[in-house]
Structure 1
Amino acid sequence: MSRALIITAGAAGAVLLAPFALGMAGFTTAGITAGSVAAGMMSSAAISSGGGVAAGSLVALLQSAGAAGMSATATAGVASVGGAAGALASGAVGLLKRMRK
């Protein structure tokens, strides 16, 4: 498999899986799910900031993405991280192949 294909698969996979991962963590279109990882994060954020969740905080950004979908900027960031993971995986596979010879 070519390196470019693995990088592309990593980027596309990350973008496709991000909404699923947000939902599984508890960041949903209906709000934060009680008892979820998201609820724990929200509780910690509220305690540390004196009772509320600050606009622009990680919890606020993740809930926004869970409720309304990811912005173009967030999608590009997720794709970049997925592509970087694909590049690392491709490099590791190449290294292992060279070591076997």
Structure 2
Amino acid sequence: MGLLTCIAVAAGAAGSVALAPVALALGFTSAGIAAGSTAASMMSAAAVANGGGVAAGSLVAVLQSVGATSVAGAGGTVAGIIAALV
């Protein structure tokens, strides 16, 4: 694995770990988007703007992904990086 690839993987992992508390506070949880939360409002607005669906790669999609994997994902990401570097 090249140096730039290692740096990119580490940056992505750090970003997802850093976003996890934000995602959870907004209502993006491992069980889905919490009813009545800011996340629910964001998803609704995104769906209306995109004709009924949330675009892949959008802020809502990224935060949902982070929220869905935040509990187990942080440890898994760190373990994955260590395994890739060794």
Same fold (TM over 0.5): yes
Matched residue SS, 2:52: coil
1:40 aligns with 2:41: yes
Pairing 1:55–2:61 present: no
Structure 2: runs of 5 or more not aligned? 1-14, 78-86
Alpha-carbon deviations, 1:38-73, whole Å to 9, x = none?
00000000000000101111100000001013787x
Q: Which has the higher contact order (CA 8 A, sep 6+)?
A: 1
Whether the 8 Å CA contact 2:54–2:60 is kept in 1: the answer is yes
Q: Distance in 2 between matches of 1:16 and 1:61?
A: 13
Structure 2 residue identity aligned to 1:42:
M
Gaps of 5+ in 1: 1-13, 73-101
CA distance, structure 2, for counterparts of residue 63 and residue 16 of structure 1 = 13
Shift of 1:16: 6.5
C-alpha distance in 2, partners of 1:67/1:27?
7
Q: State the percentage of identical aligned residues.
A: 54
TM-score (norm 2): 0.58
- Please state how far the C-alpha of 1:22 moved relative to its aligned partner: 1.4
Match of 1:20 in 2: 21
The alignment's TM-score, normalised by the length of structure 1, stands at: 0.50
